[in-house]
Structure 1
Amino acid sequence: MTFASLPLLVTLLTAQTPAPTKPAPAPAAAKSPSAVAGIAPLPGLPNLWASGVPAVPPALSQRVQQYLESRSAQLLDVSDDGQQVLIATRFADVNQLHLVEMPLGARTQLTFTKEPINRARFLPGNPRVIFYLQDKGGGEFFQVLKLDRGTGRSELLTDGKSRHQDLVVSKDGRWLAYAGTGRNGKDTDVYVAPTADPRQAKRVTEAEGSWSPEDFSRDGSKLLVRQYRAADDADLSVVDLKTNTRTQLTPKEGKGSVGAAVFTHDGQGVYLATDRYSDFAEVYRLPLTGTPPATPVSLTKSVRWNVERLELSSDGRKLAMTVNEEGYGRLYLLDARTQALSAVETPKGAMGELRFAGKRSDRVAFSLTSARVPLDVFMVDLPTKKTTRWTRSEVGGLDPETFVEPELVRYPSTDGVTVPAFLYRPKNAKGKVPVVVVFHGGPEGQSVPSFSSQTQLMVTELGLAVLLPNVRGSEGYGKAYRAMDDGVKREKSLADIGATLDFIASRPELDASRVGVYGGSYGGYLTLATATFFPERIKAAVDVVGISSLPSFLRNTQAYRRDLRRAEYGDERDPAVLQVQERISPLGSVGRIQAALFVQQGANDPRVPQSEAEQVVQAVTRKGSDVWYLLATDEGHGFQKKSNRDLAQTTALMFFEKHLLGPVSGQGPGAGGK
């Protein structure tokens, strides 16, 4: 599960009462950002353009307003003394850096920019200096900046045009590491800079592929780096920063994941979470010198699920780790001396970031979310095992106890596959209820029982059931399950869509004649595939930044990620692979679509470009179907700005209400259709 942010649709859709969405005529001088006929900017929201999207009824706006005011608190870092927690949260339009200095204390805002900030680290020894990543317009060409809290000013440290990612600061505060594409725009190298003069960065890897920094040794002399080829194919190396020599630690033969890695306290070994030696990611200790054992001893053999995050205490005695147990997070501690493993009781939910206070070994912080808890920060006092909540994010004044908890269900598909899913059902429903299936992105993502204002709105306010399946290819259920959709095997994975629809038909409380589908990114591909290959079985489909053609997606995605995606989807330059990709691409079979379609897209999307949305919108429009299109010119792979998210979420709800529940109150028959 990737958890730097919540699942895509949660990030896309949260916040407040939108303006009416009836498109206004574009000014004569305005140049259209889209090739879709009839598209026009929305009144009061010039960065949002729409085609076919009707005005939002006032009654619906009133119903969704409080849900859209929910927010979250994403853990970014903890100060050396454990007294300051750095978070990303939103009080205006986008996430900004905030400081919390006591449990449930005030959130002091540190940055006030127009673009979101979701990744940052304190400078050890001086928490008044913060390094962070920020892009512009959702294009994901992140830059590294340094915030001086004394002056309130930020300084750009990178070139302003290449793409940068990952931030690692040495424990002694002398060194900063990050990754960037500055060398050729395609390969991602690792850079190291002195924090005293961070503009003086030098490349410590210069090789083909995607490389990232993982951890500095305690004395700052060595850096762990990861080479990532695919979810199931990564390697870990150590760079000696004095000589710039790089030594690979994982075996050169075979392959496996590198989920997390940290140096041991003495710097002579590493703790590594990998699925190289088993079906799940387990923790191993590898030496830096000598010949590593062919099969090292697992330190977490008793835990059947994936270990996702690792953090070592400052005294080196405790290795904290989060484990993903079928979507729910568990916190474990490994005694580095005895190798005894113990679980720490925490609130139930999905876990995110994990951080020890830099110079304390008795406190570890983590982020957690559940169906009734927005992403918030918690801290465990290890001697007492007491968990304290540090942030309590608002849910628009609503009572979280009224939110619906999901039921974990499983159902059979082809090839002996059993699909796990989370089912949310409205309380006190009478008769069969319509269903919205929400597909996660990735493809190697995972739907988890996290807080989603969108899900709670559909279940609580509209009376819809919501089903979140983890179809084959999802993370969290072992590497064999994750690999079941790789390359041309993706064609077989489409059977899981049919199995999902069969499951709905098997449940007496669910109405299989009124089904909608919803998904972002790869989930958008599955949404379009459902509409295309199972046309009689759904009524409405909302595709958010989704793939409509696998070959054109691979040709047009940004160069720095093209080979990474070929490892997942197959190489379209191979004629045999191309034939399968074309056969399973929705664009080639749009004539089969019967469901109403709503497409949402960011114009600056570097992953799934705007062309993927527009080619399917134009094709479906030509066949005379009901199709809505919403384009944000200041967004990328998902909507991060509040006003945009508000509109995206509310119109999606309006779309499902129209097509699954009948005419929307306040609209005449056929409003918004063709």
Structure 2
Amino acid sequence: DHGRPQLLTDGRSRNWFGAWSRDGRWVGYSSTRRNGTDADLYMLDPRVPGSDRKVLEVDGGGWNFSDFAPDGRKALVVNRQSIARADVYELDLAGGTLRKLSSDARPASYAAPRYGADGRIWVVSDLDAEFLRLGTLDPDSGRFSAVTREPKWDVGDYALAPDGSFVAYTVNEAGVSRLRILDIASGSVRPVTGLPAGVMPYTLGPSLSVAPWGELGLSLSSAKVPGDAFSVDPKTLQVTRWTRSEAGGLDAAANVEPELVQIRSFDGEPVSGFLYRPDPARFPGKRPLLFDIHGGPEGQSRPGFLGPDNYYLNELGVALFFPNVRGSSGFGKRFVGLDNGPFRREDSVRDIGAFLQALRKDPRLDPARFGVAGLSYGGYMCYATAVHYSPQLKGANCYVAISNFVTFLQNTQAYRRDLRRVEYGDERDPVQRAKLIEISPLTHVERISVPLLVATGGNDPRVPASEAEQIVEAVRGRGGTAWHLLAGNEGHVFRKKENVDYYFRAGVLFWQRMLLDGAGEDAK
């Protein structure tokens, strides 16, 4: 209203956007406001105060809207129980009745169900396959029929033409988004080759859409593209770039593209990651290297725009490596499950050990100046890497990180607890609890011999601030070094500019001291 944001929900519970109705009037979303645990389904008209209404009470924290029927009477909703299991339902919006569409006979992952122009239900699923495929779901039999036929890599986002003539979809090829146009009548598929090698970023709603006149619109980021709007003519496949986002006066075209590094881990499992190298003309000789481990743990490092992290490359001469250890998404459902439970958890840490061993042999990197960073679950990996590989490191920057799996599972918000138990293990089971304690970094804090930078949000509902406080206290209690940054007005990952800037500058100072001998003799 007049350029000022208006609070539409209660401002206290977890409220998660789901979908817009086709006429743009209603927003469907989920909220835990009833009991802090279950993600009930709600609708509201943002223009009408007091229009918010609960459509359905549910059990579980993984429910949300995915699409509204064209006539606005029904909606498709998803109940996500884990990355490997989700179910699709159709919801009658007037009566609040729910009909299950996916089959119980063969549990699988389903994502982004949508109504097609002819009434068919489209969805992405890994049913009977290693990778996610795009197909249709029979609402009566629950049968999924795959339409895409890529032998490898997950289908990501997709968009249906309003007239039902084609569907555009992306394939996550080792992290890079590749766009395809599929003719629904003939089944023929054409690749779109005129886009940068980047990532279709997460946005509010789908990152792909088809205009009423048939042109495909999308947003994309890459090493050289901060995040911009493109369109594709579905007939000619001509690509048009509509925006060139502001980058603070910097030349984004000067940023370096990453190299895909592929190795075999300790047990022969293939793992990969993206390596960014500083300009050798400006920064000659062997360069320090900073590992940056993604969260999730089912996340994935992908070659999008690095934003402020380009400062490490372009101004400090520090190389960056973004690994995808086992348990990362995008490499098939077998790979994503390889770290499940407490007894296989540290296999992903051993993947980092394999990367350390491989990259130490790189003639352009300085193995005496390696560091590690990570966010959320990647923050656990950051601590664990410091536990297992401190002699090979100069420091660790662990951000909103898990330090003890048992205290984390006990204190994380209730709506997330069961979802996380599927991934990490169940602390209520004595055998699993003992193993969770055994693999927790806090248990082995005496093995951390490098300085830590620990950052956390005071209001974090996912990884409570107590996870940071207990490991900082333990490290300092043994005479170790632990920088501790607590943002009292933040949740999980900093959002307020003053906190984001302060943490970034603290990180630069930390790595200058740990990797570049103070201010850095070559940090101009």
Q: CA deviation at 1:359?
A: 5.8
Aligned pair in 2 of structure 1 residues 639, 243: CA closer, same or farther (>3 Å)?
closer
2:36 match: 185
Superimposed CA distance per residue, residues 129-188 of structure 1 (whole angstroms, 9 cap, x where no aligned partner): xxxxxxxxxxxxxxxxxxx5xx55655443343321114221134533111112222100
Provide, for residues 415-442 of structure 1, a one-character-per-residue CA deviation record: whole Å limited to 9, x for no partner: 3211111111122243322211110111
Structure 2: distance between partners of 1:337 and 1:536: 60
Deviation at 1:205, TM superposition (A): 3.0
- 1:409, 1:421 within 8 Å by CA — same for their partners in 2? yes
User: How many residues are treated as equivalent by the alignment?
Assistant: 513
Matching residue of 1:389: 241
1:152-551 equivalences under 5 Å are 152=3, 155-193=6-44, 197=48, 199-209=50-60, 210-267=62-119, 269-289=120-140, 291-293=141-143, 296-302=144-150, 304-345=152-193, 346-352=195-201, 353=203, 354=206, 360-428=212-280, 429-488=283-342, 489-551=344-406
Q: CA deviation at 1:358?
A: 7.2
- The separation in 2 between residues aligned to 1:194 and 1:593, in whole angstroms, is 52
Q: Deviation at 1:252? A: 0.9
| Contact 2:14–2:31 (CA under 8 A) maintained in structure 1 | yes
Equivalent residue letter for 2:517: G
TM superposition shift of 1:255: 2.3
Q: Structure 1 vs Structure 2: percent identity of aligned residues? A: 43
Q: Which letter does structure 2 place at the counterpart of 1:276?
A: L
Contact 1:308 1:324 in 2 (8 A): yes
Distance in 2 separating the partners of 1:656 and 1:549: 25
- Aligned 8 A contact 1:204 1:244 in 2: yes
Contact residue 235 and residue 257 of structure 1 kept, 8 A: yes
Query: SS of the residue aligned with 1:523?
Result: helix
Q: Normalising by structure 2, what TM-score? A: 0.93
Of structures 1 and 2, the one scoring higher in RCO (CA 8 A, sep 6+) is 1
> Which amino acid is the alignment partner of residue 315 of structure 2?
E
3-state SS of paired residue (2:19): strand
Unaligned stretches of 5+ residues in structure 1: 1-147, 667-674
CA distance in 2, matches of 1:552, 1:463: 39
Contact 1:413 1:499 in 2 (8 A): yes
SS in 2 for 1:273: strand
State the alpha-carbon separation in 1 of the partners of residues 108 and 14 from structure 2.
26
Match for 1:495: what amino acid? R
What is the correspondence of 1:49-68 to structure 2 with a 5 Å cutoff?
none
Residue identity in the other structure for 1:246: L
The 8 Å contact of residues 175 and 220 in structure 1, kept in 2 or not, is answered as no
Aligned-residue Cα RMSD (Å) equals 2.1
What code does the residue aligned with 1:238 have?
Answer: E
After TM superposition, give the deviation of residue 620 of structure 1 in Å.
0.7
Amino acid at match of 1:280: F
Look up the equivalent residue of 2:57 and give its one-letter code: E
1: CA distance, partners of 2:83 / 2:514: 38
**2:102–2:139 CA contact under 8 A, matched in 1:** no
Give, in whole Å, the separation in 2 of the partners of 1:152 and 1:626. Answer: 46
- The superposition leaves residues 493-521 of structure 1 with CA deviations (integer Å, 9 ceiling, x where unpaired) of 22112111111222222222221001111
Unaligned runs of 5+ in 2: none
Q: 518-527 vs 299-308, which deviates more?
A: 299-308
Partners of 1:664 and 1:195 in 2: CA distance? 50
Post-superposition offset of 1:198 = 6.4
Asked whether the equivalents of residues 491 and 580 of structure 1 are also in contact (C-alpha less than 8 Å), the reply is no
- Counterpart selection for 1:601 from 456, 462, 487: 456
Shift of the 278–507 alpha-carbon distance from structure 1 to 2, 3 Å rule, reads same
